[in-house]
Amino acid sequence: MRITGGFLKGRKIQCPRGELRPAMDRMRESVFAILQPELTGASFLDLFCGSGIIGIEAYSRGASKVVFVEKDPKKRSTLLQNIALLEGKAILHIMPVERFLKFGKEGPFHQVFLDPPFPYRFRHDLLKLLDSSSMLNPGSLVLIHHPKEDPLPEQVGRLHLEQRREYGRSIVSFYRS
């Protein structure tokens, strides 16, 4: 996979072994075109980070700090290799996202990207947990990547839907706190 924009554009990153559904280049370019006006100097949280490509894109395009959360310990070494591109401005947690949202101390964040596996059934509960956590400020932007056949509500606690973008059978829903 290659980084699609910013000062690291064109750099390759490694794909860890195991279950992974890499974010399509087209989707990443579109999402980051929307995020760009709010990205410079922002803190960014990449949940279910997989290879780390989303958080790395955020840093390449101007985020000042990125926190990555992935539960699969087999992905640790590849993730550490990939996030070395962030010049010490990254933190990696190998733990379930739900646990991080309950006990993590790095927040709050300007932007949060959630990319749970498509079979994950608890997206609505996950948004509720994020809303009740200390990870968000008023005005934080939350993006969640999900299958078209698993629609999400317009409102989850303080989070209200601003827009949805379709990419094949995928949707990215944008919520604002």
Burial of 56 (0-12, 13-18, 19+ CB in 10 A): buried
Mean pLDDT for the stretch of residues 47-61: 95
Instruction: Say what angle helices 25-39 and 53-60 make with each other, to 10 degrees.
Output: 40
Residue 18 pLDDT greater than 70, yes or no: no
Fold that domain 25-176 belongs to in CATH: Rossmann fold (3.40.50)
Mean pLDDT for the stretch of residues 29-54: 94
Residue 23 pLDDT greater than 70, yes or no: no
- 2 token code pair: 């290659």
d(CA 122, CA 126): 6
- What residues does each domain of the chain span? 25-176
Per-chain mean pLDDT for the chain: 91
* pTM attached to this predicted model: 0.94
Digit-coded pLDDT (tens) for 91-106: 999 999 999 999 998 8
pLDDT at position 101 is 96
